[in-house]
């Protein structure tokens, strides 16, 4: 394996020294490109009180290519599908090498505060979110309680 680029070392150091509030990202002991991430459900969102596990992987050509991020904890959200894949523009065509792990995680946190059912990945969830928002929010709270608490 090639030596870890300076960019990754710098980013990791900063993530450890000044962590983003509500987010913890720790590199794996055996693979410095693989991060164990925990995002706290934002206040005043249906995910409040939950702790969501994610995995984040920096591909070989990072930062020219976007990191690969996935939710491991089940979550009821219109932009996150059953497999935990996230629909977020900066992880796709809006990726810029000037963005960082930190900015990606902040964007994911923001997505939990403000779901966007008009750009859906989980179609059934997005549909319910549009036609019956209160029921969708009830489901999201229920899933948070069931899958993202006490573990």
Task: Pick the closer one to another protein by CB: 74 or 102.
Answer: 102
The span of 32-40, 56-64, 79-87, 129-137 binding another protein (CB under 8 A) equals: 56-64
CA distances from 30 to 4, 26, 35, 36, 69 (A): 13, 12, 11, 12, 18
Count of residues engaged in binding another protein, rule: CB under 8 A: 13
Report the sign of the C-alpha dihedral through residues 9, 14, 16, 17, in that order: positive
Catalytic residue at 37? no
Nearest approach, Cβ of residue 80 and another protein (Å): 23
**Rounded Cα distance, 74 and 35, in Å:** 18
- Count CB atoms within 10 A of the CB of residue 18: 9
CB of 62 vs another protein, minimal distance in Å: 10
Q: Is 72 in the site for another protein (CB under 8 A)?
A: no
Residues taking part in catalysis: 87
């Amino acid at each position: 394996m090639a030596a870890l680029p300076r960019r990754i070392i710098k980013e990791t150091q900063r993530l450890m020294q000044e962590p983003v509030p509500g987010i913890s990202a720790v590199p794996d002991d055996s693979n410095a490109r693989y991060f164990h991430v925990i995002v706290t459900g934002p206040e005043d969102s249906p995910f409040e009180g939950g702790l969501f596990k994610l995995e984040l992987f920096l591909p070989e050509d990072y930062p020219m290519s976007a990191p690969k991020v996935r939710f491991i904890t089940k979550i009821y959200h219109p932009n996150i599908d059953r497999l935990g894949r996230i629909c977020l523009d900066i992880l796709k065509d809006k990726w810029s090498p000037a963005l960082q792990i930190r900015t990606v995680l902040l964007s994911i946190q923001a997505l939990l505060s403000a779901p966007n059912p008009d750009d859906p990945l989980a179609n059934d969830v997005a549909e319910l979110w549009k036609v019956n928002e209160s029921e969708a929010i009830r489901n999201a709270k229920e899933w948070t309680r069931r899958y993202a608490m006490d573990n």
